[in-house]
C-alpha cells in the first residue's frame, strides 16, 4: 500500500491511532519534535523531508483541548513552511463541533472559527468522522471529507443476536443516523424526545416515539459526553418496558461524571470507536472500543490516489 510521497504525522492527542493508521498504510509515522518552553510557547520541528509530499496530520479533539488545537495549527504551519505539496488535517473528532449555530444571542460559532483557523494555518483539506451536524462541512473554504463510523459499529453489532431489537435515536437530531443503523441492520426505529435546560449538561428523556415495550433497545448517538443523554434515555426506556438497553456511539468524549454515571447505570454495553483515546485506567468492562484506523487509512489512500471517498459509505 505504501506510496513514496505520502506521509502521516501525529499531534500528541492520539498517537496510538496515528500509529495504527500508519500500520494499515504500511508506512512509518512521520517524525516531529515538540519543544515546550517555560512560557508555554510551543516549537515544532518536522524532522524529515516533506518537500513536495502529500502530508496528513492526525490530531483529534481530546484533553488538553486548547493545547491540542494550538499544537495542530503549529504543525500545519511547520509543514507548509517545509514545502509540503498538500497538507490534510485529519480530525477524527472535530473540536467545538457542537458550537455550530447561533442559538443564543451574542455567542460564537466556534466550529466555524476552527475551520477558518485550519485554513489560515495551512491545511489544504480536512478529513473527519461523523460531524455533530453535517452542515459543518459548509464552514470550510477547502474540501472537507466527512467519513462515517456507522458501518464500523454496524459490522460489530451484526455479529450479535439482534432479535427483538429496536434502534433508538438518543434525540431527534440523531434520527437520521439512527435510520442508517436501522437500514444496515434491518431493524425498526424509535426516537427519544430529549430536552436540555441551558448549559448545565443535564439532558432529560421525556417521551418515546415508537415501540420499545418488550424490546431490546440499542441507543445510537454521535457522541457521549457527560452521559446525560444516554443514561437518562436508558433509564427512561427501561421504565417504558424495554427489556435491556445498550448503546452504540461514535465519539467517546466521556467527560464530566460520565464514568460515575456509567458505573451506576443499567446500560448493558457501550460500543464506541477510538476517535478519542480512552485512558487505560478508565477502560470499563462494559465499554467496547472499535478501531477507525482502517477506515481513515483507506480514506487517506483514496485521497492520495484521487479516488472516490464517498464509495466508503
Q: What residues act catalytically?
A: 194
Q: Which is nearer to ligand R5P, 55 or 258 (CB)?
A: 258
Q: Which is nearer to ligand R5P, 10 or 265 (CB)?
A: 265
Q: Which is nearer to ligand R5P, 20 or 222 (CB)?
A: 222
For residues 94 and 64, the answer to whether their CB atoms sit within 8 Å is: no
Which distant-in-sequence residues (6+ apart) come within 8 Å of 28 by Cβ? 22
Q: Which is nearer to ligand R5P, 86 or 98 (CB)?
A: 98
Helices (H), 240-313: 258-263, 293-305
Helix (H, G, I), strand (E, B) or coil at 186: coil
Cell of 260: 460515575
Which distant-in-sequence residues (6+ apart) come within 8 Å of 155 by Cβ? none
* Nearest-5° Cα angle at 135, 130 to 139: 105
Contact footprint for ligand R5P (CB under 6 A)? 98, 170-171, 173-174, 201, 203, 221-230
Smallest Cα–Cα separation from 228: which of 209, 210, 254? 254
**In the complex, least distance from residue 174 CB atom to ligand R5P, rounded to whole angstroms:** 6
**In the complex, least distance from residue 258 CB atom to ligand R5P, rounded to whole angstroms:** 7
What are the φ and ψ backbone dihedral angles of 267, each rounded to 5 degrees?
-60, 125
**In the complex, least distance from residue 40 CB atom to ligand R5P, rounded to whole angstroms:** 29
**In the complex, least distance from residue 280 CB atom to ligand R5P, rounded to whole angstroms:** 22
Helix (H, G, I), strand (E, B) or coil at 138: helix
For residues 167 and 218, the answer to whether their CB atoms sit within 8 Å is: yes
Amino acid at each position: 500500500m505504501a506510496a513514496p510521497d505520502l506521509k502521516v504525522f501525529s499531534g500528541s492527542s492520539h498517537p496510538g491511532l496515528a500509529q495504527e493508521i500508519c500500520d494499515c498504510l504500511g508506512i512509518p509515522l512521520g517524525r516531529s519534535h515538540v519543544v515546550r518552553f517555560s512560557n508555554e510557547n510551543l516549537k515544532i520541528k518536522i524532522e524529515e523531508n516533506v518537500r513536495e509530499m502529500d502530508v496528513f496530520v492526525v490530531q483529534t479533539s481530546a484533553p488538553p483541548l486548547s493545547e491540542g488545537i494550538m499544537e495542530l495549527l503549529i504543525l500545519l504551519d511547520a509543514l507548509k513552511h517545509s514545502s509540503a505539496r498538500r497538507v490534510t488535517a485529519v480530525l477524527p473528532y472535530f473540536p467545538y463541533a457542537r458550537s455550530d449555530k447561533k442559538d443564543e444571542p451574542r455567542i460564537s460559532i466556534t466550529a466555524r472559527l476552527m475551520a477558518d483557523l485550519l485554513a489560515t494555518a495551512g491545511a489544504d483539506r480536512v478529513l473527519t468522522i461523523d460531524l455533530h451536524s453535517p452542515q459543518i462541512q459548509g464552514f470550510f473554504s477547502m474540501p472537507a471529507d466527512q467519513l462515517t463510523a456507522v458501518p464500523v459499529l454496524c459490522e460489530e453489532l451484526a455479529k450479535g443476536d439482534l432479535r427483538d431489537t429496536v434502534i433508538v435515536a438518543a434525540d431527534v437530531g440523531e434520527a437520521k443516523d439512527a435510520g442508517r443503523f436501522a437500514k444496515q441492520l434491518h431493524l425498526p426505529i424509535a426516537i427519544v424526545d430529549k430536552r436540555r435546560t441551558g448549559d448545565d449538561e443535564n439532558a432529560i428523556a421525556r417521551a418515546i416515539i415508537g415501540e420499545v415495550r418488550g424490546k431490546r433497545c440499542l441507543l445510537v448517538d454521535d457522541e457521549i459526553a457527560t452521559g446525560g443523554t444516554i443514561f437518562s434515555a436508558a433509564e427512561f426506556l427501561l421504565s417504558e418496558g424495554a427489556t435491556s438497553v445498550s448503546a452504540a456511539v461514535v465519539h467517546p468524549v466521556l467527560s464530566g461524571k460520565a464514568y460515575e454515571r456509567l458505573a451506576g447505570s443499567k446500560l448493558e454495553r457501550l460500543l464506541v470507536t477510538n476517535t478519542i483515546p480512552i485512558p487505560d485506567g478508565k477502560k470499563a468492562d462494559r465499554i467496547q472500543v472499535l478501531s477507525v484506523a482502517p477506515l481513515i487509512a483507506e480514506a487517506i489512500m483514496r485521497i492520495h490516489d484521487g479516488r472516490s471517498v464517498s464509495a466508503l459509505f
